[in-house]
Structure 1
């Protein structure tokens, strides 16, 4: 397969398997431009303070109303792809239990800023941009993270680098 064929194959795979990513939608930017004016400045804080999982669905803590329903009715005036990206972002934050916010934010910037500014992904492995340390090897024990938490944090940081 030629380099050009591989390139087009990779682009088409991304388009069909990851439609939101192919559109270049940054969930952080969507939240900050459309939600932060009325809610807290960052999605991580918003999820921690306002959302929970009920019967397998992301809902408001107080209203118990599904977030997907609220956004679908026009709250935030988001497009369908933006809603999809934001719901995935909120769900991922909820699933990780705000681990970055609880353990890392004291020394590092927000996860997205830290990952995009200080880390690099090479051949699927996360490295410190300046220290050149393998993050997967470094994290267990760092910031009092146990091995499962370190693995989860690596996934969180990789996701920050894999979103546009």
Structure 2
């Protein structure tokens, strides 16, 4: 994945972390929808931006500065597998990094990022292409909308994440 290495390390530094080869890839969006959306109506990345911080390399709950991985171990009676916890932590850390750029620049026309990316885009090596027309999304974004170069980089990172966490 293209998530910033330092931020990704926060997600993997939880006590439930296991060696990379042994990790099961889960769809963090499906985990969030299954276990969290009943009480937290905002999207997982939005929840992270609104209610969490990364401080000194740790993902913390903003209201009490408690570690997010501790909260996920048993929150409201919900028990998550280690892989589900890692998936959510990765989504939350990435959501903070993405800073709501998609929501601000793209969502009003393209809807939720996860469904847009998974329905309309595909990874092709280092590029992300449209599934109709094989258009290079990174190049297209330079003349589509009003995103800055740094926002385009965040969008590309976010879109790749959506595609790489898609169930196979």
Question: TM-score, structure 2 length as denominator?
Answer: 0.78
The aligned runs of 1:109-120 (5 Å cut-off) are 109-120=111-122
The structure carrying a bigger helix percent of its residues is: 1
Q: What runs of 5+ residues in structure 1 fail to find an aligned partner? A: 1-15
Match of 2:70, SS state, is helix
What residue in structure 1 maps to residue 31 of structure 2? Answer: 30
In the aligned structure 2, how far is the partner of 1:151 from the partner of 1:24?
24
- The alpha-carbon deviation at position 102 of structure 1 amounts to 1.9
Per-residue displacement from partner, 1:107-150 (whole Å, max 9, x unpaired)? 11211101001112223311111242111111124321111211
Structure number with the bigger relative contact order (C-alpha 8 A, sep ≥ 6) is 2
Does the 8 Å CA contact 2:32/2:44 hold for their aligned counterparts? yes
User: Per the alignment, do residues 43 and 140 of structure 1 end up closer, same or farther by CA in structure 2, a change over 3 Å counting?
Assistant: same
Does the 8 Å CA contact 2:121/2:129 hold for their aligned counterparts? yes
1:53 has 2:70 as partner: no
The aligned runs of 1:58-137 (5 Å cut-off) are 58-72=59-73, 74-75=74-75, 76-137=78-139
Structure 1 stretches of 4+ moved >6 Å: none
- Greater Rg by CA: 1
Match of 2:72, SS state, is helix
In the aligned structure 2, how far is the partner of 1:67 from the partner of 1:107?
32
User: Per the alignment, do residues 39 and 138 of structure 1 end up closer, same or farther by CA in structure 2, a change over 3 Å counting?
Assistant: same
- The alpha-carbon deviation at position 41 of structure 1 amounts to 4.5
The partner residue of 2:20 within 12, 17, 20 is 17
The partner residue of 2:145 within 140, 143, 146 is 143
In the aligned structure 2, how far is the partner of 1:50 from the partner of 1:68?
14
Q: What runs of 5+ residues in structure 2 fail to find an aligned partner? A: 1-18
